[in-house]
Chain A
């Protein structure tokens, strides 16, 4: 499982979390492994069963005003409940001032205590993006990722099958390159997002020409930085004994990071215009996403006709 150090929260600038460290600097190497935050709420009353280890705790107005309503030992006890579970860090929102007891606990347990001027719902929404970015599973894949008519198409296949050449064809037709050869794929909630490693972004290699920059050659509209992966097109050398789909009624899927993505297998041979076929595959995928499946409709129309034929012959 991926984890992110509490330190990364302090150092973050991308997600505008606006955190300052109040106490517990010695614990900055504690690990967060849960993609969602938690409000300690009832835990302050002693009901700690719901507190989850590894999960960031967001302390808002409810918690701070509850602590303010307690005095002396009662307040210290309430704070101590938080220390009974191995949580990675606490964040006080809305520029609220944490009580001295809370600060003392965090120093003693070496538990980072942060503070942000952001109100709770804004902080929570930003920090969830931060956690998604750091904790989502990621895999590196071989192929080319393009945006074809708005459909994220991942071309795969063995080296030398012509993926980059096909991608170049598609870019020349006005489609957009996301990543060539090395594609980082990240799982988001229920879908996959692909992007290029920073260093090779917008570049592609064309045998005989070397490395080219698609954004410079074809303009800013010919590239994009990230795209949802919606269709895998697997390119393979044409083999007469292999069975290619002749009907398109059964749907193929490729599973990437436990997410299923629609897939087509394209046999390649000289003279076959692969870019055109990929364009059609993307258009077909768009129709399917809108609930229109040409192959299935055709099958149903045919079956209806056959049924009628059966009745007439009786």
Chain B
């Protein structure tokens, strides 16, 4: 079954989506089979492949950035849950 799940989340830690944070996020995203996209909210929302470090870094999402995590595939629900939780707790493992 292939479902598409979307959930909004806000980057709340001081440094935003910094290098190590992006590394942790990409590692985690890579553990899921589904396709995962991060989208910057607002007009012309930039999108990033959550499994690609360069793509995630290109978002340059600072503190307060509103993102939508979108996943499509068999484990989409779990992936969105896990990534949103990671962003919510400021990328602390």
Contacts and interface: CB of A to CB of B under 8 A. Distances in A.
A182 B52 CA distance: 9
B52 A140 contact: no
Interface string A194-214: 000101100111000001000
B60 A199 contact: yes
B46 A180 contact: no
B51 A182 contact: no
Contacts of B51: 159
A302 B57 CA distance: 53
B54 A140 contact: no
B54 A159 contact: no
A199 to B, nearest CB: 5
B49 to A, nearest CB: 6
A230 interface: no
B65 interface: no
B23 to A, nearest CB: 9
Q: How large, as a class, is the contact surface on chain B?
A: 10 to 19
Given A197-B58, A199-B60, A200-B58, A159 B53 contact: no
B58 A199 contact: yes
Interface residues of A, number: 13
A147 interface: no
Contacts of B52: 142, 159, 181-182, 205
B54 A200 contact: yes
B47 A180 contact: no
Contacts of A182: 48, 52, 54-55, 58
Q: Give chain A's interface secondary structure class.
A: strand
Contacts of B58: 181-182, 197, 199-200
B68 to A, nearest CB: 16
Among A159, A180, A181, A211, chain B packs the most CB atoms within 10 A around the CB of: A181
Nearest to A159: B51
Nearest to A207: B53
Interface string B16-50: 00010000000000000000000000000011110
29 contacts: A140-B46, A140-B47, A142-B49, A142-B52, A142-B55, A159-B49, A159-B51, A159-B52, A180-B54, A181-B52, A181-B53, A181-B54, A181-B58, A182-B48, A182-B52, A182-B54, A182-B55, A197-B58, A197-B60, A199-B57, A199-B58, A199-B60, A200-B54, A200-B57, A203-B54, A204-B54, A211-B19, A211-B53, A211-B54
A203 B53 CA distance: 11
Nearest to A204: B54
Nearest to B26: A205
Nearest to A184: B58
Nearest to B23: A210
B46 to A, nearest CB: 7
A205 B60 contact: no
A180 B60 CA distance: 16
Given A159-B49, A181-B58, A205-B52, 7 more contacts: A181-B53, A181-B54, A182-B58, A197-B58, A199-B60, A200-B54, A203-B54
